[in-house]
Amino acid sequence: MCGIVGYVGQKQVGSEVVIEGLRALEYRGYDSAGIAFLRSDKTLCLEKAVGRVQNLEGQLEQIDDTKATAAIGHTRWATHGAPTVGNAHPHYNADRSIAVTHNGIIENYLELKQELEAAGYEFVSETDTEVIPHLIEFHTNRSKTFISGLEKAISRLRGAYALAIVTTKTPDTIYAARLSSPLVLGIAKSAAYIASDPMAITSHTKDVVYLNDYELAAVHKDGSYDIRDYKRAQTVNRKAERLEHNHASGELGNYEHFMLKEMHEIPDTIRAATQGRIRPDSNTVKLGGLESVADQLRFIDRIVIVACGTSYYAGLVGEYLIEEIAGIPVEVQLASEFKYRNEPFSRGTALLAISQSGETADTIAALKKVENYGVLRLGVVNAVGSTIARMTDSGVYCHAGPEQAVASTKAFVAQVSVLTLIALHLSGGNSPLYKPILHELEHLPAKAESILAQAKDIEKLAHKYKDARDFLFIGRNYGYPCALEGALKLKEISYIHAEAYAAGEMKHGPLAMIDENFPTLAIATDSPLLEKTISNIQEIKARKGLVLAIATEGNKDIKRLVSDAFYIPGSLEQTQPILIALVEMLFAYYVAIANGHNVDRPRNLAKSVTVE
């Protein structure tokens, strides 16, 4: 989704730093980009372009003087108004002395716009953001200092925002403010940075200061900064912290797409998520992140998992795992629904948020909802230092590294791996499944490697099914969330209509859709329920439906029954989801490629969904 980068420093490298930062954020999905920088003559130069950051760079090349000691930039994912140059950020006031980039949505923008129009301000875009520079002008003109007027203006905004502001009035300082949208300052010796994602600035500094809600920061060209909490009207003293982890954007290497690269990283992802946490010598699981809440965890009698999209489906796998292995009732809710539900919530319930980015607005809102309930808030998060990672009481990192393709692949695998460890941890070793699962987790990377080695076979299957207009995914028990995730993967990158059903539900409606043009991907791997799934496949076959099955190696019978089968190595039912998901991802990838789609940046989607 939208991305923000800002620079202020002694060196005149603002434009380059911002463009480089915007490039690092490209993977998040966007439709236009823009930059505002302060020239040496203290005038503000604004450039915007529809499409790629590359287009913006092309425009900058036509400009004589792009040297800047202060600059802000933005990649926009349209919410209010079409993706046009006029709607692209930065937005500015009439005399172009103030420029603003904004992530989020200003909910009261219409009210503010009317008020400003009545005061004589004119608007040139369809965006909600444009009220901000005018509002800043209005208040700073009536205040003693720029910062005090800025504070008044920002205090009037409702909704969600991360802002970066540059002005000719204070050329040595740029500003940042946030409410419900991530923003971080990067601090260096003679420069300071602003970014919506640390990935945009870690090539310059690893010393960062995360802003909290209702904080306004002034960052200066000598690398110093002042933060004020404008809700409580007090100064905030917060030291920079060092990012120890590698936020590097990662290169494509020899891969054609990030999605392919990230699927090939899956064996290592499983290792990274489990290594050091499994002690095979003593047959124990050690989750450092949960140690500080060990006492509270003992009293938990229910877990509510909240997440969106793929993370939600990982949560559904987690539900089966935690209930079966640890015997604790689990409910999985879509974060977007959870936040508006009025349900009883006891103190014995823990809320577990799952998120790759750690910045998903709905999941953050779900965590906020229970803020004053006195309940334990846990996180399974990939992005270290992200908002969700910081707002939960405790949690377990996925350690999947940066995931750049919009379609989640290795992050899903890491989430399921971590949820498996959490289930084992919560069982206290009292489940008969404890040792077999621990043991199997060690073998999973090699099994994932063997699937990747057969990617060509999956590609052939994808070519056979690439023209389908609809697809059904079915599975039972652990196979059911896998079916849901497989259908999501196919629809998001290939735009083929795909639906998932619990196989047992076929007779209750979906069977009516089946004919020779409506293929089914059936998860028919080894499980105590396999025979029942086979019966469901028979029912589909009887209606002339084509069936592509994912089965377990050695099951020759299934080959005779279905149109096509892909075999995965034998594994426990509880650990199969990781292998099944890998096959589904590869299948969706090759179908999308065969249809000529941009797999890394599918239409209409953004990597990190920071608005409701």
Which residues carry out catalysis?
Answer: 2, 607
Cα distance between residue 475 and residue 471, in whole Å: 14
CB-count burial class (<10 Å; 0-12, 13-18, 19+) for 317: buried
333 binds ligand AGP (CB under 6 A): no
Of these, 20, 26, 265, 492, which contacts ligand AGP (CB under 6 A)? 492
Of these, 180, 356, 525, 575, which contacts ligand AGP (CB under 6 A)? 356
381 vs 562 by CB, closer to ligand AGP: 381
Q: Are 193 and 5 in contact (CB under 8 A)?
A: yes
Q: Are 161 and 178 in contact (CB under 8 A)?
A: yes
Q: Are 386 and 400 in contact (CB under 8 A)?
A: no
- The stretch among 5-13, 75-83, 357-365, 516-524 that binds ligand AGP (CB under 6 A) is 357-365
2 binds ligand AGP (CB under 6 A): no
Task: Give the torsion sign (CA, 402, 407, 409, 413).
Answer: positive
Of these, 167, 311, 576, 610, which contacts ligand AGP (CB under 6 A)? 311
- The stretch among 76-84, 127-135, 307-315, 537-545 that binds ligand AGP (CB under 6 A) is 307-315
Of these, 129, 170, 355, 387, which contacts ligand AGP (CB under 6 A)? 355
Of all residues in the shown chain, the one whose CB is closest to ligand AGP is 309
167 binds ligand AGP (CB under 6 A): no
Q: Are 415 and 307 in contact (CB under 8 A)?
A: no
Q: 421: helix, coil or strand?
A: helix
Q: Where are the alpha helices (DSSP H) in 74-168?
A: 109-118, 131-140, 146-155
Kindly state the smallest distance separating residue 461's Cβ from ligand AGP, in Å: 21
Kindly state the smallest distance separating residue 487's Cβ from ligand AGP, in Å: 11
180 binds ligand AGP (CB under 6 A): no
| Binders in 365-424 for ligand AGP, by CB under 6 A | 406-408
- The bridge status of strand 394-397 relative to strand 349-355 is unpaired
Beta bridge partners of 48: 34
- The stretch among 302-310, 337-345, 517-525, 547-555 that binds ligand AGP (CB under 6 A) is 302-310
Of these, 105, 308, 361, 423, which contacts ligand AGP (CB under 6 A)? 308
609 binds ligand AGP (CB under 6 A): yes
| Cis-peptide, bond into residue 90, ω within 30° of zero | yes
167 vs 336 by CB, closer to ligand AGP: 336
576 binds ligand AGP (CB under 6 A): no
Task: Give the torsion sign (CA, 454, 479, 534, 468).
Answer: negative
Name the token pair of 546.
């084509």
Q: Are 98 and 80 in contact (CB under 8 A)?
A: no
574 binds ligand AGP (CB under 6 A): no
| 141 DSSP 8-state letter | T
Q: Are 385 and 210 in contact (CB under 8 A)?
A: yes
- The stretch among 88-96, 176-184, 304-312, 343-351 that binds ligand AGP (CB under 6 A) is 304-312
What is the contact surface with ligand AGP in residues (CB under 6 A)? Answer: 308-311, 355-357, 360, 363, 406-408, 492, 608-609
